[in-house]
Amino acid sequence: MATERTFSILKPDVTARNLTGAVNAVIEEAGLRIVAQRRIRMSDAQAKKFYEVHAERPFYGELVEFMTSGPVVVQVLEGENAVAKYREVMGATNPAQAADGTIRQKFAKSVGENTVHGSDSLENAGIEIKQFFDDKDIVG
Ligand code: CMP
């Protein structure tokens, strides 16, 4: 198994409810190491660029609006098979379908306000990490 890095966002519904520590506890208990973390306000341009693959989807405007509605916590997670592992720990995109014990089952309100984002492939993880972190910010 390979050590990988993946990109994570704790969304505005997390910071609004003071759940940063609770979500991080689930991440760390799953064996993923938080090797970079920063609390930011995502700009409209940053959110639009980050989610540009969804630009044609009907929920794109709502998604950008939500992601810029409050602070988010951007993170780099490291561990064995980190990309797939984090997707397992997050649970299904729709919290109604998320397995017990997953972050979205525990904390998410809806498919839109679904608490966390995680990269869907190793290639996208690299692209997404570069949008928010310099190499020197990542302390493994
Ligand atoms: P995320 O993993 O951040 O990547 C794309 C996001 O689009 C996804 O999580 C959801 O928050 C959001 N999304 C997906 N489907 C819908 C939907 N039907 N309505 C609103 N938002 C959605």
Domain, as residue range, for 116: 3-40+73-134
The answer to whether 120 touches 128, Cβ cutoff 8 Å, is no
Rounded to the nearest angstrom, the distance between the alpha carbon of 36 and the centre of ligand 1 is 24
Number of structural domains found in the chain: 1
Q: What is the mean pLDDT of each run of 10 residues along the chain (140 residues)?
A: 95 98 98 98 98 98 98 98 98 98 97 98 98 97
CA gap 18, 124 in Å, rounded: 28
Q: What is the structure's pLDDT at 1?
A: 72
Q: ∠ at Cα 92 (5, 15), nearest 5°?
A: 70
Residue 48 Cα to chain centre, angstroms? 16
* Catalytic (active site) residue 117: yes
Specify the CATH number for the domain of residue 11: 3.30.70.141
pTM: 0.97
Q: Which residues line ligand 1 at a C-beta cut-off of 6 Å?
A: 54, 59, 62-63, 93, 111-112, 114, 117
Residue 139: inside a domain: no
